[in-house]
Structure 1
């Protein structure tokens, strides 16, 4: 049996904050606009009141990984 892909897991608020910084999003509005959600949704994720949806977590992880890869 193979281990689950870590890109498919949900995301803790600290990881979300770290990925926001790595991708250059300074504010909740910046991230919200970039991924098409409300600022209040991003706020709830950062406060840990609502889990980051898996597709959003996966997208952010893939963007950070692509940014780190040399071309």
Structure 2
């Protein structure tokens, strides 16, 4: 299975947030159109990161690394 399609662990989410420049849960929530409490639940591991969100963040990370 393509790893880009998998969910995301809280540690991977935290790392993605840092790499993409989102300093707070609210920053990420506003950027992707979800509530801050949803981001909080993902970071606490109480709810899994939805696959579409994980895919979006991984695509943003990949685009950031590409030389233009």
CA drift at 1:37: 0.2
CA drift at 1:68: 0.4
CA drift at 1:12: 0.1
Q: Which residue of 1 aligns with 2:39?
A: 42
Q: TM-score, normalised by structure 1?
A: 0.94
Q: Which segments of 5 or more consecutive residues in structure 2 lack a partner in the other structure?
A: none
Runs of 4 or more off by more than 2 Å in structure 1? none
| Rg larger in structure | 1
Q: Which structure has more helix as a fraction of its residues?
A: 2
Which of residues 15, 38, 63 is equivalent to 1:66? Answer: 63
Per the alignment, in what secondary structure is the counterpart of residue 61 of structure 1? helix
CA drift at 1:40: 0.1
